[in-house]
Amino acid sequence: MGNQHYDVLIIGAGVSGIGMACHLKRSCPDKRFAILERRQSLGGTWDLFRYPGIRSDSDMFTFGYKFQPWSGGKVLADGASIKQYLSKTAQEKGVDKHIHYGLAVKEANWSSEDKCWSLVAENAETGERETWTANFLVGCTGYYDYDQGYKPDFPGEADFKGQIVHPQHWPEHLDYTGKKVVVIGSGATAITLVPTMAEDAAHVTMLQRSPSYLMPLPSTDKVTLAMQKVLPAKLSYKLTRSRNLFISRQLYKHSRKSPKAMRRFFLWIVKRQLNGQADMRHFTPDYNPWDQRLCVVKDGDLFKAIKADKAAIKTDHIERFTETGIRLKSGEEIPADIIIPATGLNLQMLGGIKPTVDGREVVLKEKVLYKSVMLEGVPNAGMIFGYINNPWTLKVDIASEYLCRLLNHMDSNGYQVAVPRDHENSRGEETVMGALDSGYIRRAEDSLPRQGTHGPWLAVQDYQRDIEVLCSQAVEDGYLEFA
C-alpha cells in the first residue's frame, strides 16, 4: 500500500478517529478517506490499557456517540465493552473497511504548491516507509504518549525484590492473589485499580502525595433502565444524555463559581460514604474542585474496600524503595510484593508527529487553536481534542460536524485551501487544557498549543457554547482564509 491520494486522511482509529470517519460517511459521502492506525486494532486508549478494572470515567450515555445510542443500563462501562461498542459502530457505519493498521505516521508535510499533505508512515510488518497524500488531514491521536507512561525515578528502585508494573504496560497474566500491593497515585487509574485488586490481593495500599476529589457514581442507572422499558430507544437515550449533561455541567459551573461551597459538598459525600472508618485527611485536597479532574468511584467500591480493611490510603512522600517495599519520609515502611506506579501519563500531541508547512516545522506552543479544532497558520488540517470536564466524545461529535461543514463549504465554493489566521495577536498564556493544574499538564506545557484571549481562539470547555460556535455559526467568519 502507499503512494495513494485521498480527499481526507485521519490519523488514529480511537474514539476520535472512528467518530470523525462516521461523520464523513454521513455528511460528505463522496469523499475518499482512509484512517491510518499504528496499532493492530482499533480502539486507541481502550485497546491499549488492559489493567484490572479499566473502565470509563464518564457516564456512557454522554460518552456514547450522538448518532449511536449506548444500550443497556451500565453507566460506567469496562474497557472491553467500550472497545466492543467502537468496533460495532465502525462495522455498522462501514468505516472499518477504511482503516489501515500497523502504520505509524512519522512525518506530515504540507505543500502550498501542491495544495496537499504528504504523510510518511512506517509499516510495522515490513519496516518500510510509505507515502500517503491527502487534500485534508485530521489528527485524532488523543493527547498522550502511547509508548511510555510517566514514571518518576524512585530512589532505591533497583533494590526492590518484588515486581514493578506500570498500568500502561500491564502483563497479561499477572497473579496478585494473596499478594501485598502498593499503588502509587491518586488519579482515575489508582482509584480504579485499588478496589478491583483488593478483591483478590492480601491487601492494597494507595500511596498518594496529595488527595483528589472523589465522587461516587452508581454503575447502573435505574431511571434509564425504567425509561428503556416504556420509551423508544432513541428517545430514552436522548433524555438520559440531556439529564446527565445538565448535571455534569452544573457541577463544573458551580465548582468554578462557588469553590468553597462545592468543596464542602464533595467532602460531605465522601464522609458519608466512609461512615467515620477512615481519616478524612486522606480525602481532603489542598486545591479547589475542578482545578484538577474529578475522580469517579464506581458504586463507592473504594470506600467499601477501605471499610472492609482490604485497602488503605496513605498520604506521604516516598523516601526510597527498599528490598521489601517502600519507606516513607515519615519513617514508616509499607511492605509490598507488587508496586504499581499509577503516576500518570506523558502528554503528546499528534502522536509525536512534528508537522511542517512548506518545510517549516509547526511549533505547537507558538500556535493558537481556532475554534478548538484547527491550528493557526496550518492549512487544511483539523485536530480533534476532547473536553477536560465532560466526556471526550461530546467534542468529537461537534468537531467532526464542523470539519464536514467546512469541507462541504469549500467544495460548493470551489476553495482548495482553508487556513485560520490570527491577525490580532490573540495568543494567551494558557494551554488548550485551560485552567487544569494536573502534574501531567504542567510537565507538558512546552508541547501544547495555546488558546487565545478572545473570539474563536478561546477554548472555554463549554459544550453548549461550542455547539453554537461549531455547528451554527457561519463557516466564513473573517478568521478563516480561503484560496
Nearest Cα neighbor of 114 from 13, 211, 5, 208 is 5
Mapping DSSP onto H, E and C, the string for 25-93 reads HHHCCCCCEEEEECCCCCCCHHHHCCCCCCECCCCHHHHCCCCCCCCCCECCCEHHHHHHHHHHHHHHC
Q: To the nearest whole number, what is the mean pLDDT of the chain?
A: 91
Nearest Cα neighbor of 7 from 410, 348, 369, 366 is 410
239: buried, middle or exposed (CB in 10 Å: 19+, 13-18, 0-12)? middle
C-alpha 276/C-alpha 366 separation (Å) is 50
- In this model, does residue 349 exceed pLDDT 80? no
The amino acid that residue 104 corresponds to is: A
- In this model, does residue 435 exceed pLDDT 60? no
Q: What is the pLDDT of residues 250-264, one digit of tens each?
A: 998 999 999 999 999
- pLDDT band with cut points at 50, 70 and 90 for residue 299: very high
219-223, 295-299, 424-428: which has the highest mean pLDDT?
A: 295-299
Kindly indicate whether the domain formed by 157-341 is annotated with CATH number 3.40.50.
no
Q: Where are the domains of the chain?
A: 4-147+346-482, 157-341
Q: What does pTM read for this prediction?
A: 0.92
Helix, strand, or coil (residue 127): coil
Helix, strand, or coil (residue 279): coil
What pLDDT, on a 0 to 100 scale, did the predictor assign at position 441?
A: 63
Estimate the crossing angle of helix 233-257 against helix 259-274, to 10 degrees. Answer: 120
What pLDDT, on a 0 to 100 scale, did the predictor assign at position 3?
A: 56
Q: Which residues of 78-102 are buried (b: 16+ CB within 10 A; e: fewer)?
A: bbebbbebbbebbeebebbebbbbb
What are residue 242's phi and psi, to 5 degrees?
-60, -45
User: How many alpha carbons lie under 13 Å from residue 160 in its C-beta half-sphere?
Assistant: 22
Kindly indicate whether the domain formed by 4-147+346-482 is annotated with CATH number 3.30.930.10.
no
Least confident of 108-117, 273-282, 315-324, 404-413: 273-282
Return the ∠ at Cα 349 (arms to 207 and 396), rounded to 5°.
95
Grid cell listed for 316? 506521604
Strands 203-208, 311-315: pairing is parallel
Write out the DSSP string of 132-145. Answer: EEEEEEEE---SB-
Q: Could you identify the residue written with the cell 481534542? A: 385
Q: What is the pLDDT of residues 413-424, one digit of tens each?
A: 999 999 999 988
- In this model, does residue 201 exceed pLDDT 70? yes
Q: Could you identify the residue written with the cell 468553597? A: 260
C-alpha 325/C-alpha 215 separation (Å) is 30
What pLDDT, on a 0 to 100 scale, did the predictor assign at position 1?
A: 44
Estimate the crossing angle of helix 15-27 against helix 79-92, to 10 degrees. Answer: 20
C-alpha 256/C-alpha 92 separation (Å) is 40
Q: What is the pLDDT of residues 70-96, one digit of tens each?
A: 876 788 999 999 999 999 999 999 999
What lies within 8 Å, CB to CB, of 71 at 6+ separation is: 233
The DSSP symbol for 177 reads T
Grid cell listed for 466? 461550542
Q: What is the pLDDT of residues 371-429, one digit of tens each?
A: 999 999 999 999 998 887 788 899 999 999 999 999 999 999 999 999 999 988 888 77
C-alpha 132/C-alpha 5 separation (Å) is 6
User: What are the helix (H) ranges across 105-206?
Assistant: 188-198
Provide, rounded to the nearest whole percent, the portion of the chain with pLDDT above 90.
Answer: 70
The DSSP symbol for 294 reads P
What pLDDT, on a 0 to 100 scale, did the predictor assign at position 472?
A: 94
- In this model, does residue 226 exceed pLDDT 50? yes
Helices (H) and strands (E) in the chain, counts: 12, 25
Grid cell listed for 418? 482553508
The Cβ of residue 12 has, within 10 Å, a number of other Cβ atoms equal to 26
Q: Could you identify the residue written with the cell 483478590? A: 200
The DSSP symbol for 178 reads T
* Type and span of the H or E element at 23: helix 15-27
Nearest Cα neighbor of 234 from 453, 69, 114, 120 is 69
C-alpha 208/C-alpha 311 separation (Å) is 13
Least confident of 40-44, 176-180, 196-200, 275-279: 275-279
Helix, strand, or coil (residue 219): coil
Q: What integer is the mean pLDDT of 196-206?
A: 97
Q: Which stretches does DSSP call E strand in 417-478?
A: 418-420, 427-431, 450-452
Instruction: Name the CA dihedral angle for 107, 364, 19, 418, rounded to a multiple of 10 degrees.
Output: -90
